[in-house]
């Protein structure tokens, strides 16, 4: 599975939406960026990684429902 973070906004927000792909991509990007910046200061726990995984899966499902992946 690959989540396309580089989709243009016109592609993301065009047509019929079932779940907000743009908001989910922004949320996932923010969360991943946070852990990327914190990795030297704080090691993520298994719960943190599980939460990130669940967020990524929810994002992928919404993108799939909206025919973006």
Closest CA to 20 of 48, 69, 50, 61: 61
What is the per-residue pLDDT for 55? Answer: 94
Q: How many helices (H) and strands (E) does the chain have?
A: 3, 0
Tell which wins on pLDDT, 33 or 6. Answer: 33
pLDDT digits (tens, 9 = 90+) for 13-67: 776 777 788 888 889 999 999 999 988 898 899 999 999 999 999 999 988 888 8
Task: Output the CA–CA distances (angstroms, integers) from residue 67 to 6, 9, 40, 44, in the order listed.
Answer: 15, 14, 37, 32
């Amino acid at each position: 599975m690959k989540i396309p973070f580089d989709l243009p906004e016109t592609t993301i927000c065009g047509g019929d939406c079932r779940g907000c792909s743009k908001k989910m991509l922004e949320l996932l990007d923010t969360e991943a960026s946070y852990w990327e910046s914190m990795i030297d200061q704080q090691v993520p726990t298994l719960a943190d990684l599980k939460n990130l995984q669940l967020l990524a899966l929810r994002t992928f499902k919404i993108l799939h429902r909206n025919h973006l992946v």
